[in-house]
Amino acid sequence: MIYKDMEEIMETENNMPESKNFIEQIIDKDLVEGRFDHVQTRFPPEPNGYLHIGHAKSILLNYGLAQKYNGKFNMRFDDTNPIKEKEEFVSSILEDIRWLGADWEDRLFFASNYFEEMYEAAVKLIQKGKAYVCDLSPEEIREYRGTLTEPGKNSPYRDRSVEENLKLFENMKNGIYQDGEKVLRAKIDMSSPNINMRDPIIYRVAHMSHHNTGDQWCIYPMYDFAHPIEDAIEGVTHSICTLEFEDHRPLYDWVVNELEYPNPPRQIEFAKLYMTNVITGKRYIKQLVEDGIVDGWDDPRLVSIAALRRRGFTPESIKMFVELCGISKSQSSVDYAMLEYCIREDLKAKKPRLMAVLDPIKVIIDNYPEEQVEWFDVVNNVECPQLGSRKVPFCREIYIDREDFMEEPPKKYFRLFPGNEVRLMNAYFVKCVDYKKDENGNVVEIHCTYDPETRSGSGFTGRKVKGTIHWVSARHGVKAQIRLYENIVDEEKGKLNEDGSLNLNPNSLTVLPNAYIEPNIENVEPEDKFQFVRQGYFCADMRDYTKEAPVFNRIVSLKSSFTLPK
Ligand code: ATP
Ligand code: MG
């Protein structure tokens, strides 16, 4: 089935027997069987960069499940790795999540606050004979680990006594050893077919300051050990992560079981969201920012949540997008055009439709009285009467868009050309009687005459015209900068060049510095959104927009080549 619009989707969903995704089916089963009596999820980003559209999927999934099951949603920074983390990302991440509408209430946690519990958990494993301090070098550990086809070999330090391990681990904590000199390893099975189970490292020595705990610790837990403990401490029931952790699940289960947590959490994996024609890799984005090719991490051509927001996407459109993507176990990628479809659907009946001329040419209406100004009543959005109407001024001099005039039109060009008559939207019929060019051959001025009988809404039926074009009063229009965007890379042409660099689209940004907008934008604030008729949806740039120098980003054009899959 092909959905026409958002309402239809919602309606169809309401009328369909509820179809549940595989995660909901697992949760339902857990609740029925009594494994859990409630649902608690979490979103656990590492504060080492900006969140992108893929994270949005994870956030909305986790938050959505908590809501649906009347459960709890934890916001947790997984900040156990002191090398990469930066405080600045903590606030940008929280801002993005809040904007998306996921509410963690008072449930904001930092994994680094559990370092003490994690240390005690490691001691417990040692006491149970399930962990040991190993002196092998990193290279030796790799060698001993074996391969996918060969089992690993036991470390010569594997059979140290509990007492010796406790002493050595305490020494590790007390800073007696250099980085890499000793590690703590889980004692599981060096011949396991799953390499993650071959005595994985769970603690390492790292003499590094941490953004939260400073120099208090010189040993840090590894992700596969820390993450299940964080979930268990917080009482998370369903720990949802992406597919690459599937092979780590036996270790996750081993950790929570050996540590004897009552009601241990369950890990569930789903496929990451991949998008075509965008760039999500942190390394690439960093390069683009450093090379000045994009205007920061929130450049509207990127798909960080901050960038999508700045471009003009709404939380509702992102929610619709991730719902359409669905939750699955198989990897696939979704085109950017689907996200564009969602924002059109969200804005089309919500936002006023104004007239804006992006690339202006002046039109002089020779027979219109010099001093006269008429104010036309114009409905703001024909699909949404509640949005009311506004007054649009008209006078002898107006601007129209350059592409709405041609000296020598091809067949089927119904817009303005010498001798042709068109309707000025919401105003009169005008006929082109003359035009002027500059020394370079560019048309700089068009002369028309108007027919006062043809005023819009007057019921005129004398004759018809085939073209209707938009316009802005030259005397009243507000000058603005307009930014148009295309995909930053085109995957069909190859995302990467032979040398591994990005194959960038040189036309990804077009700046139009002399656009004119009808004057009904006095009260516009950064982030306000509109349709500019025939041009698309636009958003007042959240960083650069001012009343004195308005800047609008095109979110998306009106045309779409995208149709929803059946
Ligand atoms: P890194 O490479 O730094 O680990 P990351 O994108 O995995 O980057 P995390 O902070 O670890 O960043 O991610 C937080 C959460 O977001 C994790 O639960 C992860 O599974 C989820 N996530 C990350 N990328 C995607 C994606 N493309 N689609 C869906 N979920 C994602
Ligand atoms: Mg990660």
Centroid of ligand 2 to alpha carbon of 46 (angstroms): 7
Cα–Cα dist 246/267, whole Å: 9
Residues having CB within 6 Å of any atom of ligand 1: 44-46, 48, 54-55, 57-58, 241-242, 272-273
Which one of the ligands is nearest to 325 CA?
A: 1
Nearest to 271 by CA among 328, 204, 233: 328
Give the residue from 339, 352, 277, 351 showing the smallest Cα distance to 311: 339
Stated pTM of the model: 0.92
Question: Of 270, 238, 215, 216, whose CA–CA distance to 58 is shortest?
Answer: 270
Question: From the CA of 246, which ligand is nearest?
Answer: 1
Q: What single-letter DSSP state applies at residue 9? A: H
Please give the distance, rounded to the nearest whole angstrom, from the Cα atom of residue 43 to the centre of ligand 1.
9
Q: pLDDT-based confidence at 242, cuts 50/70/90? A: very high
pLDDT in tens, 376-421: 999 999 999 999 999 999 999 999 999 999 999 999 999 999 999 9
d(CA 347, CA 217): 51
How high is the pLDDT of residue 559?
Answer: 85
Q: Which of 83-97, 476-490, 536-550 has the lowest mean pLDDT?
A: 83-97
Which residue has the least CA distance to atom 22 on ligand 1? Answer: 55
Alpha helices by DSSP H, listed for 69-114, are: 87-100
Dihedral class, residue 457 (left if φ above 0, else alpha if ψ from -120 to 50, else beta): left
Could you tell which of 53, 55, 270 is best to mutate to test the pocket of ligand 1, judged by most ligand atoms within 8 Å of the CB?
Answer: 55
pLDDT tens digits, one per residue of 8-38: 555 555 555 678 999 999 999 999 999 999 9
Residue 11, pLDDT score: 54
- DSSP 8-class letter at 272: P
What gap in Å lies between CA 391 and CA 518, rounded to an integer? 10
Tokens matching residue 183: 């590690």
Q: Which residues pair with 152 in a beta bridge?
A: none
Q: Which of 366, 355, 357, 362 is nearest to 450 (CA)?
A: 366
Look at residue 283 and tell me whether its pLDDT is greater than 90: no
Q: Name which of 157-166, 191-200, 324-333 the model is least confident about.
A: 324-333
Ligand 1 atom 27 nearest Cα: 54
Q: How far is the CA of 55 from the centre of ligand 1 (A)?
A: 6
Residue 45 alpha carbon, nearest atom of ligand 1: 10
Q: CB atoms < 10 A from the CB of 289, how many?
A: 15
| DSSP helix/strand/coil, 27 | helix
- Residue 144 structure tokens: 């001993």
- Distance in Å, CA 53 to ligand 1 centroid: 10
Average pLDDT over residues 246-254: 98
Tokens of 297: 């991490």
Nearest CA to ligand 1 atom 1: 46
Q: How many whole angstroms separate alpha carbon 337 and alpha carbon 276? A: 9
Percent of the chain residues topping a pLDDT of 90 = 88
Report the separation in Å between the CA atom of 285 and the middle of ligand 1, taken as the mean of its atom positions: 16
In three-state secondary structure terms, 46 is coil
Which residues are CB-contacts of 94 (< 8 A; sequence separation ≥ 6)?
75, 108
The confidence score (pLDDT) of residue 492 equals 81
pLDDT number for residue 2: 43
Taking 60 as the threshold, does the pLDDT of residue 7 lie above it? no
Helix (H) or strand (E) holding 395: none
pLDDT, average across residues 496-513: 92
Ligand nearest to the CA of 49: 1
Kindly give the residue spans of alpha helices, DSSP state H, lying in 242-380.
249-258, 282-290, 305-311, 315-325, 336-347
